[in-house]
Amino acid sequence: MTETFQSWGMSYEWAWGLATISGILLIALPLMLAVAMIIYVDRKVWAAINLRRGPNVVGPFGLLQSFADGLKVFLQETIIPSAANKGIFILAPIVTFTVALAAWAVVPFSSTAVLADINVGLLYILAISSLSVYGIVMAGWASNSKYPFFSAMRAAAQMISYEVAIGFILICVVLFAGTYNLNDIVRAQEGFGFGLINAYVIHPLLFPMWVMFFISSLAETQRVPFDLTEAESELVAGYQTEYSSMSFALFWLGEYANILLMCVLNAILFFGGWLPPLNIDLIPWFDIPGIVWLLLKTFFFFFMFSWVMATVPRYRYDQLMRLGWKVFLPISLGFVVVISGYLMATGHYGAAA
């Protein structure tokens, strides 16, 4: 994009700056729209599984429900509790929202459509997702109220625990791909399964890792069955209890942007990202742009997220901790050893040593 702007007679710095800003807008604005629609999808799927109709009043099929909610929230008054720590109280939803958007910088939508094609893309995502706990912890503490505080404590422990397991799972993928660059990870999956299937997940050693990654991403984004931070039967609304108006909406947007990010990561790391599912040119689907495949896969994973939300009861907190530390951590650590052994034995890294 920089070259295009330069060809219009701008200096390199200006062209670069303008290209970056328009790239950010090109990702962030559709993402906000996607979040609004995905909330609608979430409610519809949930309602269908519960044999209800879900939102069906605002607009055709209720499609505009999220925008109506957004408008309502926008017009409300922002209430700041007098006992709250004002600066941090206001900062917390902003941090959540910003961090949720920042991670999208390295997501490859197709082989060329990526804002920052950096070498350590996967590490960047890990780093940014480890920041998302701060918004919640700051909100919980700054509210100066019991329920948000409990919620913040739970969130901190929960997110740190599952990040450890996610780290090891990502290492398994990196061992197979030999790179941290997300685009190269996708390329490494081309024809991975017998030259036919473009996905890591069909490998018997990586399939269990994907199952664990999916469950860990539920826990990392605090979705049901791991939504203990906002368990309404125990903690009112958790860390959001004292929030109203736009600050509340920012939490929601950030939360769903994080969920979408985890869905995209599932697609990129284990299901071939922007590659078509099969590596054969039976129908001309290599002509379909990569972004369509990526979005279809993402939507599939989001459907799974909603499906889990409608069908699985909430975990108890000690069970959640046990699953993270005593089940996922040892298994994923074992798989790192097994997978590196397997790759050495099959000569994957034979020449390099």
For 118, the enclosing helix (H) or strand (E) is none
Question: Which range in 114-122, 188-196, 257-265, 298-306 contacts other proteins by CB under 8 A?
Answer: 114-122
Task: For residue 252, give both structure tokens.
Answer: 């929601």
From 128-136, 195-203, 208-216, 259-267, span contacting other proteins (CB under 8 A): 128-136
Among 7, 8, 13, 287, binds other proteins (CB under 8 A): 13
Q: Which stretch binds other proteins (CB under 8 A): 150-158, 246-254, 258-266, 289-297?
A: 150-158
Q: Which two tokens stand for residue 142?
A: 């700054």
Contact 135, 85 (CB under 8 A): no
Shortest Å, Cβ 149 to other proteins? 8
Nearer to other proteins, 39 or 133 (CB): 133
Between residue 240 and residue 279, which ones bind other proteins under the rule CB under 8 A? Answer: none
Is the Cα torsion angle 273, 277, 281, 284 positive or negative in sign?
negative
Size of residue set near other proteins by CB under 8 A: 30
Q: What is the DSSP string of 153-184?
A: HHHHHHHHHHHHHHHHHHHHHHHHH--S-HHH
Q: Select 123 or 295, whichever has its Cβ closest to other proteins.
A: 123
Q: Which of residues 303-322 bind other proteins (CB under 8 A)?
A: 318, 322
C-alpha to C-alpha distance for 321 and 327, rounded to whole angstroms: 9
CB atoms within 10 A of CB 133: 21
Please state the closest distance from residue 61 (CB atom) to other proteins, in A: 38
Site residues for other proteins, 35-94, by CB under 8 A, read 85, 88
**Cα separations in angstroms, 2 against 18, 20, 332:** 8, 8, 42
Give me the residues that bind other proteins (CB under 8 A), please: 13, 16-17, 85, 88, 118-120, 123-124, 126-128, 130-131, 133-134, 137-138, 141, 149, 152-153, 156-157, 160, 163, 180, 318, 322
